[in-house]
A and B are shown apart, each in its own frame.
Chain A
């Protein structure tokens, strides 16, 4: 809701102030429209700021607060001032662009220089806490508590009752805190407590995993649940020692020393503890693409197929779309409207659903294609047929768009040019080859390039149809139809849960560099930039 008013607000500041126009020399008139517009804009900006600020103060996010403050000032200034007219039109879109496009890109780039991923998610303190609390074991004679599972602000809390003193404490991952005013039942469990929502047995049992994962740090160790109604305070066997910056195991005496370069605690044999922290590892993620032999072999193979796929998609859709547009581009053809209606239908159908339908049409056992052809081909299961199937279905999805844009471009080519070539004795083919096609290409190159960029990252087609497969028996991390982007997705661990975000971010940066380079070069070569900038 908050976005739209500001959007209209920017426009509805539509108010007569001729001072804005450099060509105008009329004196400035203050009208009701002007005042209303400004008041509306200011009101929306103030309301947004008021909405955004309190949570930021509460969570002590001073940097974010500063950003909000500066942004508010800039926006207020831009719409109150009578100058900077372009800014008034550019600001609304730019705010979204910065927040949800540029900022994520910058964050991705900075992630590419870290080891962010599973086991390296948080700070060093988080890692130490996790290592210490993860090694809790119950020792004989350690204190026990009556446990009640409760929620506070939607978060899981342990209500712990000391069986002898009957004092009640609330335990979270942050530690213990006293609870006053709790009502105890006859079994020694908490029945109700102000500010807490006590869960009954069935509801608590549903969250069993969360409950057994919750560890409440205490001075001497940590408290863990033992079932749903008992909790014990155990000792941590692994302790962090600040003097040697290392973790030691009290039982075995083993020692892991912090290695700031890789963000892990490492023992003498080079074995690291599973829990590490996030550190800057420089260019390691980027060089890994080239130095790690398995990855660089994948990367090259995936890259080649990626280029082939994008080029083939653009070429086949453009050629078919153009042929159909040319066929329809004649006053003699009847039923134009009907043809056009049927031809654009694939474009209007929901693409993601049709991709899944195509996948099922290529199904080996009961797919339509095999039944129509009377064959028994494992289309999706073999590298080359899977690639063919992908390009064919991409052709089906994409040619109507090319048909539409070519039709438009054909209408813009003056008939006299083609007629003149005919008068000069050129055959229809020559006329097309020498006159129509070059003119078409001039008009459509920008669209072809953006189509290439789109297909270069056409994750939907791959993910929904082949999911990168088929895979070689000995290698499950890269498939025959994987694009760089679907490969990245797998490396980032969205499927498997073993995430390597830093490396995935590095591949993202590579993909971006490749697509951007190709596009910029292509734009330059076709001098399309002149048109873009005109």
Chain B
């Protein structure tokens, strides 16, 4: 027994304590969402009632556009994560497989540019998009396409490094033998490499998805019309000022609904996530 405690017991103890720490805010959100009163002051850790009123309010109240925000967020996040993964994977492929002038400089430049958070340049971005809004309204303020373009500016970056690290572990012999068989670089890229690295693509796409879903600052400056807001911008408005206590139940309900797609994908991809994040840890 003592031996068990020493070798395994402490592990469970650590794990259970951390799980409790990880879960208690989530349980609080859950019980607040189910709390029929729907205020912060009446919300407890353990659910004090069970009703779906908060969810109903959230979806039907005329001054909120929750469904609209949800769709906006999903569309922008999905489009942005797929496009940015494609862009960064192309770059990662070139950096990993090819040797060309400016490669080292390019990698270092990417690293440094990433240190300058896009948000720091918000003034400049604002100026740029004021011009864009005038010239091309379809890509200006309050449009999902403009925001998407802006997000793609950061496509090359951490993801490129992550994928390059992973690609480096895929044996080059595969490419070489395919080349000998007469395949072109594009055929190798699409038919051989892409299927092999599909798991890490899924994982990075998911991380990009989470990142975009949560992006608040730029979207807050960019999207001003109630109809064009994303969940992050729209829901933030629910907790501002005097309404903060009263709207808490609805906010909690909105948080839970928002988490559904991500948590679902997260659990589904769980085993790839571990491997994917640590790039070189696995092969193929």
Contact = CB atoms under 8 A, between A and B. Distances in A.
Contact of A361 (B28, B107, B186): B28
A349 B263 contact: yes
A7 interface: yes
Contact of B216 (A21, A352, A531): A352
Interface residues of B, number: 113
A454 to B, nearest CB: 8
Interface residues of A, number: 120
Given A4-B83, A332-B7, A356 B239 contact: yes
B15 A96 contact: no
B186 A14 contact: yes
A469 to B, nearest CB: 15
Contact of A105 (B113, B187, B213): B113
Contacts of A10: 90
Name the residue among A52, A342, A371, A459 with the largest chain B CB count within 10 angstroms: A342
Contact of A93 (B87, B123, B145, B236): B87
A99 B120 CA distance: 15
Given A93-B91, A409-B281, A104 B98 contact: no
A303 interface: no
Contacts of A409: 278, 281
A406 to B, nearest CB: 8
A100 B124 contact: no
A217 to B, nearest CB: 21
Given A108-B120, A343-B19, A330 B156 contact: no
A104 B8 contact: no
Contact of A352 (B29, B148, B214): B214
A349 B259 contact: yes
B267 to A, nearest CB: 6
A345 B263 CA distance: 7
A505 B8 contact: no
Interface in B190-244: 190, 210, 213-214, 216-217, 221, 231-232, 235-236, 239, 244
Given A341-B270, A368-B43, A332 B8 contact: yes
B123 A324 contact: no
Given A23-B179, A450-B158, A532-B161, A90 B125 contact: no
A512 B112 CA distance: 9
Nearest to B187: A14
A351 B153 contact: no
A343 B18 contact: yes
B124 A104 contact: yes
A15 interface: yes
A123 B210 CA distance: 42
B115 A515 contact: yes
B280 A412 contact: yes
Given A18-B184, A20-B184, A492-B122, A3 B152 contact: yes
Contacts of B15: 324, 327-328, 333, 339, 343
B150 interface: yes
Interface string A109-150: 001000000000000000000000000000000000000000
Interface string A161-178: 000000000000000000
Contacts of A345: 22-23, 26, 263
A89 interface: yes
A3 B232 contact: no
Interface string A440-468: 00010010001001000101100110000
Interface in A347-405: 347-354, 356-358, 360-361, 363, 365-366, 368, 371-372, 396, 399-401, 404-405
A203 interface: no
B141 interface: no
Contacts of B239: 356, 360
Contacts of A102: 113
A533 B123 contact: no
Given A352-B214, A533-B107, 8 more contacts: A24-B179, A105-B116, A342-B22, A346-B26, A368-B28, A411-B274, A460-B217, A505-B124
18 contacts: A3-B148, A14-B190, A85-B185, A89-B90, A97-B113, A323-B14, A340-B270, A342-B19, A342-B22, A344-B273, A345-B26, A366-B40, A396-B22, A399-B22, A460-B214, A464-B236, A531-B165, A532-B107
